[in-house]
Amino acid sequence: QLQLVESGGGLVQPGGRLRLSCEASGMTLDYYNFGWFRQVPGKEREGISCSTGGVGGVTTYADAVKGRFTISRDNAKRTVYLQMDSLKPEDTANYYCAARPRDSLDCPNNGMSYWGKGILVTVSS
């Protein structure tokens, strides 16, 4: 059974850092694109980072997090990470990990096949 489980969220002060983890079961990571998304209640979900699978995989970031967030994957551990540095209050949201087969070079918001349940990140002093 394909399943994604996020961990690592919580409360952090502005300027701090967190690392989110997405543990994948029932899949070989290299065959999938993985994306991180976030959503604030009452607002649309936004894609913030994508890592495509396979040789020549690419990573992309939304402008709002570029230079502060880093996506990575450990295929052996079946885990995808999102390192979040220099956090801002506006980064407060529920964060979701999602995956889709690597038949494209993107992680479309409405085109992901599997989703985690999400985890809350709160940036506040």
84 φ, ψ (degrees, to nearest 5): -120, 115
In the predicted model, is pLDDT for residue 19 greater than 90?
yes
Decide: helix, strand or coil at residue 41: coil
pLDDT at 109: 94
pLDDT at 55: 84
- Which amino acid is located at 75 in the chain? N
Instruction: Please name which of 108, 110, 97 lies closest in space to residue 29, comparing C-alpha atoms.
Output: 97
Based on its alpha-carbon atoms, the radius of gyration of the chain, rounded to whole angstroms, reads: 14
The whole-number average pLDDT for the span 5-10 is 98
Decide: helix, strand or coil at residue 48: strand
Tens digits of per-residue pLDDT, 54-113?
888 899 999 999 999 999 999 899 999 999 999 999 999 999 999 999 988 899 999 999
pLDDT at 10: 97
Q: What mean pLDDT, rounded, does the chain reach?
A: 96
Question: DSSP states of 3-34 as a string?
Answer: EEEEE--EEE-TT--EEEEEEEESS-GGGEEE
